Structure 1
Amino acid sequence: MITLTLLHPLQSVAVQTWPFESKSVIRIGRSTDNDVILYSAVVSRYHVELRHKGGGWEIISLGANGTYIDGKRITEMPVVDGMIIRLASSGPKIKIEIDDATSNARRKAALGKRSASQKNGVEQEFKETLVDAEGKQK
């Protein structure tokens, strides 16, 4: 499963979410025949495609105004869980989350370790950590 989340332009909070269970190609753009339709002057009719290939996803930029990751224009690259793409240099931001069997297995293993630690009387304190768009801790 892959989930796309449109982020608020100023606060980076979710505005709208689109989950996709079984699609192998997801199209984003202004045209009404896209899977995700965004009405913005800087978004092309067919701006981005996400394609499921083998064990992962890749992103292909089709828009004249470009697609950006961490401020760098891309043409094609593998999708990383949690990455944020920007359609055009000043356009909408979309967070991409991948929920596959590997991610689920890792998540369950992490929860299992935490549960085992709690059962053994070891308490862990979890703090909120803020990170910037490049994943660096603030």
Structure 2
Amino acid sequence: MSTLNNVITLSLLHPIDKTPVQSWTFEEEPIVRIGRSVNNDVVLYSAVVSRHHVELRQTEDGWEIHNTGTNGTFLAGERIESKPVQDGLVIRLARSGPNIQINVVQQTKGMSSIHALIAKQQARGRAVVKENA
């Protein structure tokens, strides 16, 4: 029986046009840490980002966001402490800090991340990569 693994991609969004300027993908990590300190998985150099600002934790039900910073983590302008992650969710680190988009791809254990991305795009009706049979 195959087990599922949730691949998570975090994208730092441009402050004005909200397009991704940098992305990080994690396939095996049960916890992904974001903050200003160099011992985080994603390091953001911003005065309003705490040294240890956010943890994303993989659970049996998917990923969850946990605020660990003093300046707060915001979703649609509301401060959150803990929240389940939905694909495409955008969080803001601190009231005036960077925006991070979170994308989750559920994949079967052993499936490569490119295959998971293709499956996700096909499910959304916009596959861009074709494989030869």
Deviation at 1:101, TM superposition (A): 3.1
Deviation at 1:49, TM superposition (A): 0.1
Shift in CA distance, 44/109, structure 1 to aligned 2, threshold 3 Å: closer
Deviation at 1:108, TM superposition (A): 4.1
Say how many residue pairs are matched.
Answer: 112
Shift in CA distance, 110/74, structure 1 to aligned 2, threshold 3 Å: closer
Aligned mates of 1:107, 1:18 — CA distance in 2: 19
Cα RMSD after superposing both structures: 2.0
Question: Higher strand proportion, which one?
Answer: 2
- 2:3 maps to none
**Which residue of 7, 11, 31 maps to 1:5?**
11
Alpha-carbon deviations, 1:11-32, whole Å to 9, x = none?
A: 1011100011111000000000
- Tell me if 1:30 matches 2:39: no
**Which residue of 62, 66, 70 maps to 2:68?**
62
Deviation at 1:107, TM superposition (A): 5.2
**What SS is found at the alignment partner of 1:22?**
coil
**Which residue of 82, 85, 90 maps to 1:84?**
90
**What SS is found at the alignment partner of 2:91?**
strand
- Tell me if 1:53 matches 2:62: no
Aligned mates of 2:94, 2:123 — CA distance in 1: 38
Deviation at 1:55, TM superposition (A): 2.9
Give the TM-score taking structure 1 as reference length: 0.75
Question: Higher helix proportion, which one?
Answer: 1
Alpha-carbon deviations, 1:59-96, whole Å to 9, x = none?
A: 00011000000000000010010000000000000000
Q: Unpaired segments of 5 or more residues in structure 2? A: 1-6, 109-115, 126-133
Q: Unpaired segments of 5 or more residues in structure 1? A: 112-138
Name which of structure 1's ranges 99-108 and 52-61 shifts more when overlaid on structure 2. 99-108
Alpha-carbon deviations, 1:5-60, whole Å to 9, x = none?
A: 00001110111000111110000000000000000000000000000000300000
**What SS is found at the alignment partner of 1:99?**
strand
